[in-house]
Amino acid sequence: MPELPEVETIKNDLRKKVISKKIKSIKVILKRTVKSNFNEFLTNLLDNKFISIERAGKLLIFELKSKEMFLLVHLKMTGQLIYSENGRIIPGGHADASTIKDLPNKYTRVIIEFCNGGKLFFNDTRTFGYMKLVGKKELDEIVSKFGPEPGAKEFNYKYLKKLLNKRTANIKSLLLNQQLIAGIGNIYADEILFKAGVAPERAANSLDENEIKKINIAAREILRAAIKYRGTTFNDYVDADGNTGNFLKKLKIYGREGKKCQVCGEIVKKKKTAGRGTHYCSKCQS
Ligand SMILES: [Zn+2]
């Protein structure tokens, strides 16, 4: 699943491609991908333009020029936005070669065509992703439910301390809870906890001040670095300019089960915590 750094990268890349281009046609191939009134969706987008692209957590927000309407795009597990112009394909989101070839293909759910001939394809193999058209009021309601993201001013030691002190759930599940902290998924949660030296199954209210401080710093540093490196790419992730994200080489714990911990040499383990495959070092994290 694309997390904050990957979605931030897509946002920045698509800004260069689709802003201010008039929408000439829209083709919805899989109706349930569109979670709004279908006719309203079409009439509001047609002949309109995107004037900005913003992001809240992992949600992309395309602002439309007229009517104070916003197109929300959530890529969920396997969604992908691919911009194609003059035969050049620029994919963003989770993708493997088979999902970006011969567009549109069997994974294409929605196509937005611009008057310059450019096309934005929404591809999604597992179809959990969605597009939704909302007004300003609904957008504000949706965005208000997101917790602060690491990097935001409101995300700080004080916020985390208050949040963690009163909760008994394990720290990994809280890092993944978008209503408490926005943007972190499985990869970065594991990286943050490794860097902070905190075991993923620890109850939030068992963490001491020093551990909370370390999580605060690790979350900020790791997401900042991941954005700088354009996110983490496995063999199936390509960004909006067709580049693979290269934070993969910087991962210290995620995906390293069975290998030696780069810090202490202990074998990295993987187990299920918060319903997700969780990587950790039993020596470095306690
Ligand atoms: Zn270790």
Distance 40 CA to ligand 1 centre (A): 54
Task: State whether the Cα torsion 169-60-75-280 is positive or negative.
Answer: negative
| Catalytic residue selected from 213, 220, 252, 276 | 276
Q: 148 an active-site residue?
A: no
CA angle 240, 182, 97 (to 5 degrees): 25
Q: Where are the alpha helices (DSSP H) in the chain?
A: 4-18, 38-45, 97-100, 136-144, 157-165, 171-176, 186-196, 209-228
Q: 91 an active-site residue?
A: no
Question: At a CB cut-off of 8 Å and minimum separation 6, what does 61 contact?
Answer: 53, 54, 55, 70, 71, 72, 139, 143
Task: State whether the Cα torsion 29-31-37-39 is positive or negative.
Answer: positive
Distance 283 CA to ligand 1 centre (A): 5
Distance 253 CA to ligand 1 centre (A): 9
Distance 262 CA to ligand 1 centre (A): 7
Distance 281 CA to ligand 1 centre (A): 5
pLDDT score of 241: 64
Q: 230 an active-site residue?
A: no
Q: What is the value of pTM for the model shown? A: 0.90
pLDDT score of 282: 98
CATH architecture of 157-280: Orthogonal Bundle (1.10)
CATH code for the part of the protein at 4-144: 3.20.190.10
Distance 192 CA to ligand 1 centre (A): 14
| Catalytic residue selected from 58, 132, 202, 256 | 58
Q: Which residue has the tokens 């294409």?
A: 108
| Catalytic residue selected from 2, 5, 91, 150 | 2
pLDDT, mean of each 10-residue run, the chain (286 residues): 89 93 97 95 96 96 92 92 84 66 91 96 94 96 96 96 97 97 96 98 98 98 92 62 75 97 98 96 98
Domain ranges of the chain: 4-144, 157-280
Q: 3 an active-site residue?
A: yes
Distance 247 CA to ligand 1 centre (A): 20
